[in-house]
Amino acid sequence: MATDSGSQRRLYELMVLMKAADDRLSKGIATGELLCVYWPSRGQEAIAAALGLCLRPDDQLLTTYRGLHDLIGKGVPLLEIFGEMLGRQVGASRGKGGTMHIARPESGVMLSTGIVGAGPPVAVGLALAAKRRGLDRVTAVSFGDGATNTGSFHEAANMAALWDLPVVLVCQNNQYAEMTPTEHTMKVERVADRALAYGMPGVRVDGNDPLAVVASLRQALERARSGGGPTLLECLTFRFRGHYFGDPMAYIPKEQLAAAQAADPLPRFRSHLTGTGVCTEGELDDIEAAASARVEDALAAALAAAPPSIDELDSDVYGDPTHCPA
Ligand SMILES: Cc1ncc(C[n+]2csc(CCOP(=O)(O)OP(=O)(O)O)c2C)c(N)n1
Ligand SMILES: [Mg+2]
């Protein structure tokens, strides 16, 4: 099914908002204005925008420390993202979790984790709960190429397939795990091929093309929602800013980075939208200006917000054993 023009425009809005947030955070951290840690997602926007477009509000998403784009796509308010990164009470985790630990169940974001490979087993648990309760919700989990070398990924993939759980395993293959290229950690070339071992479809898509990601994601979501079980969706992309913000990226060959930047998903999708007549240059300029303004407003509000009060110290530490969210 082709993606209609309204949805294409929505994809661009999301991608532009993700890039604007990344650009502003990067500038603020580099100048010392913002005191926070950050694992940049610049370059990987197309995947998160597709997730944002295709997941329903009641679907769930789990992500990693490199989750800025995923959080924006799933609708976590910018104020709550920036507030959390800056340790403010308005943050999604009330300023007590920081960049690595942003969760917002109201938006379906159940986990951001700094433990590589920790998302898939939690997603499998959530999907098992949904299946047992007869909900037609799907749980998507986003993780890196490096995560597919952890035992927890393989255990989760096996169990998800065995029990036909409504999960979509979304690998954002940015070709590096910290400073190590994938060919130094995997004998197989394609992450998607790992699906064969567990009896589920494994699909590799161009992760810089939002329409390609949408097309594959829709199939995977449909399969999961109708009881067909999980899919491993490998989205091939690249990480433009290094592992952590400030990483000098000395380990990335210059030609490789230049080629990746030439395939930047943003200008490429912009050309597609204008070339096919979906949007005019002026409309896209307006989208970009609106995104920058939203980011500025949210960041100013987060900077002006208070840190967690002392009373927050022991709240949210222990769960309520009688409360079981639907
Ligand atoms: C269990 C565990 N092992 C090692 C680390 C250290 N570490 C942090 S990020 C990272 C690389 C992960 O690479 P990938 O899964 O490809 O995700 P990316 O950072 O590229 O998005 C590693 C090894 C960790 N955080 N958790
Ligand atoms: Mg990686």
Mutate to test the pocket of ligand 1, among 112, 116, 149 (most ligand atoms within 8 A of CB): 116
Would you say the CB of residue 179 lies under 6 angstroms from ligand 1?
no
Write out pLDDT tens, residues 2-60. 899 999 999 999 999 999 999 999 999 999 999 999 999 999 999 999 999 999 999 99
pLDDT at 320 over 70: yes
Write out pLDDT tens, residues 150-171. 999 999 999 999 999 999 999 9
pLDDT at 146 over 90: yes
Contact 147, 116 (CB under 8 A): yes
CA pseudo-torsion sign 312, 316, 321, 326: positive
Would you say the CB of residue 178 lies under 6 angstroms from ligand 1?
yes
Does this model's pTM top 0.85? My answer is yes
Would you say the CB of residue 191 lies under 6 angstroms from ligand 1?
no
- C-alpha distances (whole Å) from 240 to each of 22, 44, 295 are 11, 8, 20
3-state helix, strand, coil in the chain (%, to 5): 50, 10, 40
Ligand nearest the Cα of residue 178 is: 1
Domains observed in the chain? 5-303 (3.40.50.970)
Closest C-alpha among 136, 117, 9, 129 to residue 63:
117
Relative to the CA of 150, which ligand 1 atom is closest? Answer: 1
Distance, CA 113 to ligand 1 centroid (Å)? 10
